Amino acid sequence: MDESVQPLQCLIADIPQAVLVDIVQRIAEETENVKVVDRITDIAELPAIMDSQPIDVLIIGMEKFVIPQICSDMLNKFSNLLIVGLVDDGRKAAVYINDVTSHEVNKIIGILGRR
């Protein structure tokens, strides 16, 4: 990893399955340029943590692709925040980006479009 590039600060929140949390943390930590700064089980802690330290990526547990209101609030408050929602057992995901640009949409399609 290039030492001049600051790692993305990642927070894992509200994933009820402990095994899935461990897997997500391991995958995130194996990703170049990502640092897991915390894991929380109570989503009510989210505002205090987000206010106390910079978070670039929030990985959350979701039910049926419904983003929790508190996450919508954080997305509106922190315009550069990337939220990755893992649905149910983690085999489905939703990505939330505020003020997405056409370039970002192209990058998403390029990365995930052909699987």
92 contacts 23 by C-beta, under 8 angstroms: no
* pLDDT value for 88: 81
- pLDDT, one tens digit per residue, over 55-90 is 999 999 988 878 889 989 999 999 899 999 998 888
Q: Count other Cβ atoms within 10 Å, centred on residue 109.
A: 10
Report if residue 64 sits inside a domain.
yes
Residue with tokens 């205090």: 48
74 contacts 46 by C-beta, under 8 angstroms: yes
Which residues constitute the domain of residue 63?
8-112
Residue with tokens 């929030």: 58
Number of domains forming the structure of the chain: 1
- pLDDT, one tens digit per residue, over 11-24 is 999 888 888 888 88
CATH number at residue 95: 3.40.50
Q: With 0-12 CB in 10 A as exposed, 13-18 as middle and 19+ as buried, what is 7?
A: middle
